[in-house]
Structure 1
């Protein structure tokens, strides 16, 4: 398919046309038709994470498209987006499709990683509810839930960082978990202030 045509030229009478047009040669195609029309060299094997028994990998392709959903009500076409397709070997047709607004220079591996992030998010949410107690909140106010969720997520983040230091995760993830640098003049909450000299001019933090 190709993008819709611009609005009709104004005839000089009535309201100027403002909606894009569709014609036979400017009609959208289905996701399946577009995927099946891609050449063989558009497909690549991508591994996105380690599974319990083996690495998880499949065949993917990505192209830039303009979504056609109700574009006939618009004055300009939709902006370009990534169209990611998964077509595993042995399947007769593609099995999954995604639309993504990630930047146009995003690599295929990055698109796949973001698309497959859903499984990790669902697992994290399940562990937050079952192991940390995110689902134990019984209040009705937003502030109370916000505080409860913040503490639960902070605790879960600490556990994940500790777990990543244990093999087999340690060799791959440990270099990525560097402690953040402390800002100049940082003082832990509750710590006493640094002693000051009787004369301000002799204090080491004095601007002069």
Structure 2
């Protein structure tokens, strides 16, 4: 009986033919973004290759896995081929939003860093990134996630330049950074993506971010676009209450005991998470020009850990009335972008691009985001279908994750990496010859450098 139930549940969960058609349809919808059919075909093969099970991922290993005789086509696709990567990303975002949208979408911004070994890579500098564990040589990019109750995925990104890097004309020229681009802070990059999403017709009710994205300029941009926001703020952030202008720490300290409410914020491995929450009315300081200063609801949300008494603060605005429960649910949903970072890196190699130039970085990120959008959206649709079936055979199954779906796709849909003997020997010879030539070039350069006055 148990074996029969397992087979029934598996057959209901795995629609391999449907997934294959959906992936093909997504790639076909992007076809007119490419000037040549060769580039379009290479893009499709490389995108599928991103989902293959490989020990290491770069242009060499991808080219070998998808059956190329060298990495030259992939290098050409990333650097010199004529195709509109921004249009590819916009269409993929529209595809994902259309399938996930439940009428209550939210947009979440956050940054992630990828460690680098050289400053030759575009925008690589010593800077802070939580994903690399502090200050290190890395590239940092701000990403935007679209999330609903059905699922979530990354829909846009902007590469961040430090002020020093942005002002280095020599490095900008070497890496192909467009002349019109200048330094922009992370909140400004997030605002650019919010405006782009609005122009594209992506509808959302709230913007979420951590303390990095709590500046007045970005909050004003949210209100101009008709968005509410819930953003973390630091303990010294100043707010104006009906009584006085205070830091958020001082405002929380004046709360009476009856103002706190204990609410559940989800379940973890150790059980239900409970926090104490309070809401304080504050005066908005980010009203856009031409807008009613008294419109909407502006509050400070305070969260207190029930055991450690650690306090966190969130500045919130809603275009209309808003409940404490609604704001608490939004705070909990901010972590969707962190889930996207983790899954996109582990399954689609968002952080594995060994590229140095502007074009190459953006095109690698687009290819990985297309692969991840398909994976994340397909998993979300499978979960919705599973919930709708209400099948007793699926009652004791956890919802299908992106990782589990990828295992099934690799086994049932995706072509396996090419591993026949002639192909492996060809690549072994190619790598050794390339490495030999590279070694000679390095030696000749050092000899020239040592003998030239």
What TM-score do you get using the length of structure 1 for normalisation?
A: 0.52
Contact 2:260–2:278 (Cα < 8 Å) also in 1: yes
Q: Which has the higher strand share?
A: 2
1:53, CA displacement in angstroms? 2.8
1:127 matched residue in structure 2: 343
3-state SS of paired residue (1:127): helix
Kindly provide the CA deviation profile for residues 131-158 of structure 1, in whole angstroms up to 9, marking residues without a partner as x: 211123325235x544443443343244
1:107, CA displacement in angstroms? 2.0
Count of residue correspondences: 138
**Among residues 163, 168, 193, which one is paired with 2:398 in the alignment?**
168
Q: Greater relative contact order: 1 or 2 (C-alpha under 8 angstroms, separation 6 or more)?
A: 2
Structure-to-structure mapping, 1:194-205, within 5 angstroms = none
Q: CA 1:90/1:81 → structure 2, altered by over 3 Å: closer, same or farther?
A: same
Q: Are residues 1:38 and 2:268 paired?
A: no
1:99, CA displacement in angstroms? 0.9
Q: Are residues 1:89 and 2:306 paired?
A: yes
**Among residues 74, 91, 100, which one is paired with 2:316 in the alignment?**
100
Q: Are residues 1:47 and 2:47 paired?
A: no
1:195 matched residue in structure 2: none
Q: CA 1:158/1:50 → structure 2, altered by over 3 Å: closer, same or farther?
A: farther
3-state SS of paired residue (1:156): helix
CA distance in 1 between counterparts of 2:370 and 2:299 reads: 33
**Among residues 352, 369, 382, which one is paired with 1:136 in the alignment?**
352
Q: Are residues 1:60 and 2:277 paired?
A: yes
1:111, CA displacement in angstroms? 1.4
Aligned Cα root-mean-square deviation (Å):
3.5
Runs (5+) with no aligned partner, structure 1: 1-24, 70-76, 171-208
1:67, CA displacement in angstroms? 6.2
Q: Are residues 1:159 and 2:375 paired?
A: yes
3-state SS of paired residue (2:305): coil
3-state SS of paired residue (2:246): coil
CA distance in 1 between counterparts of 2:252 and 2:324 reads: 15
Runs (5+) with no aligned partner, structure 2: 1-241, 287-292, 387-396, 401-453
Q: CA 1:42/1:169 → structure 2, altered by over 3 Å: closer, same or farther?
A: farther
Q: Which has the higher helix share?
A: 2
Contact 2:274–2:306 (Cα < 8 Å) also in 1: no
What TM-score do you get using the length of structure 2 for normalisation?
A: 0.26
Q: CA 1:50/1:154 → structure 2, altered by over 3 Å: closer, same or farther?
A: farther
Q: CA 1:153/1:54 → structure 2, altered by over 3 Å: closer, same or farther?
A: farther
1:203 matched residue in structure 2: none
